[in-house]
Amino acid sequence: MANLYFREDIAAEAFAAGALVEVTGDEARHAVRVSRLRTGERILVGDGAGLLGEGPVEEVAKDRFAVRVDAVRSHPAPETSLVLVQALAKGDRDERAVEQATEFGVDAVVPWEASRSVSRWSGAGGAEKAAKGVAKWARIAREASKQSLRARIPEVRDPATLAGLCARAGREDTEVLVLHPRGSRALSAWAAAGLAPGTREVHLVVGPEGGLADEELDALEAAGARILALGSTVLRTSSAGPAALAVLNVALGRW
C-alpha cells in the first residue's frame, strides 16, 4: 500500500496530472531517513483538505523528494460533519482517543475540560498550556491521517466549555449527543432513525475517566442535548468516541 505525505501549503493546481510535487522539511526527512523512500516508489501526496495525488518518486535527497503526479482524486467534505468533544484525561488516553477517532473518520475534535478531568489545561499559564495541547492533538490527528491514508486532516478546535456546549445544543443545525449510561435510548437506535434535514454537525460528547457529573448532564440535557447509551457496557474514555463513530459511520452510509 502506498504511503501518504502532506503538503498543506500547496495550491490545488499543483496536484494536476503531470505536475511535479516537491516535499521538503521534516516531512521529507522522515520519509527519506526513516521510511527509506526510494526513487520509483509510488506514493500519495495530499493537501490535507481533500485532494490526493498519486505517482512515482522521481527525485530523492537528504531533506527533500519530488513526486510526478499521474492520478488525482478529490474527496469533498461531508454534508454532515462528525465532531468528537473529548474530555481531557490522564496519561495519554485523550490522545489515544484523538488518534483512533481520526482513523475512524472524525471530521473535527474539540478538547473539553470536564469537571472530573484529572488533566487540566486551565489555571496558571492556562492559555499557553491549552495552545500547546491543541497543537499536540493537531499533530496526532495529522500523523493518524497519514497512517490511515485520509485525504482530509481533522480540525482540532479550541477547547470548549460547558456553557459553549450548551449553546451548541440549542442550535437548529447541530445535534449534541452525550454518551452516558444514564441514557434511556441507544445511540444505534437514534442513528437508525436518521438525521433531521439541515443537520450540519453531530457532536459526540465523551466524559473523562470519572464520568460526567450529574450537573453537567442536567445542563446539557436542559439545553437540548440528547443523553444516549452506547451499549450495555462502559467503555474507557479513549475508546468510547471511536466506537460511537463506528455506529454513525454505518448509519450515515460512510462505511
Condensed to tens digits (0 to 9), the pLDDT of residues 159-175 reads 999 999 999 999 999 99
> What is the dotted CATH code of the domain comprising 81-251?
3.40.1280.10
Q: Determine contact, residues 114/212, Cβ cutoff 8 Å.
A: yes
Instruction: Tell me the C-alpha distance between 81 and 107, whole Å.
Output: 6
Low-confidence ranges of the chain (pLDDT < 70): 1
Say what the pLDDT of residue 4 is.
95
What's the pLDDT at 222?
A: 97
Strand 226-229 relative to strand 174-179, pairing: parallel
Residue-level pLDDT at 234:
87
Coil/strand/helix, residue 172: coil
Sheet holding 201-206, edge to edge: 155-156, 108-112, 81-87, 201-206, 174-179, 226-229, 185-186
Q: Decide: residue 157, CB within 10 A, 0-12 exposed, 13-18 middle, 19+ buried.
A: middle
CB count within 10 Å of CB 16 equals 11
Q: How far apart are alpha carbons 235 and 241 in whole angstroms?
A: 9
| Residue 153, C-beta contacts closer than 8 angstroms, at least 6 positions apart | 6, 8, 48, 49, 141, 142, 145
- The 10 Å Cβ neighbour count of residue 126 is 13
Contact 67, 56 (CB under 8 A): yes
Predicted pLDDT at 1:
52
Name the CATH architecture for the domain at 4-74.
Answer: Beta Barrel (2.40)
Domain spans in the chain, listed from the N-terminal domain onward: 4-74, 81-251
Q: Give the separation between CA 64 and CA 59, rounded to whole angstroms.
A: 8
- pTM for this entry: 0.93
CB contact at 8 A, 167 and 223: yes
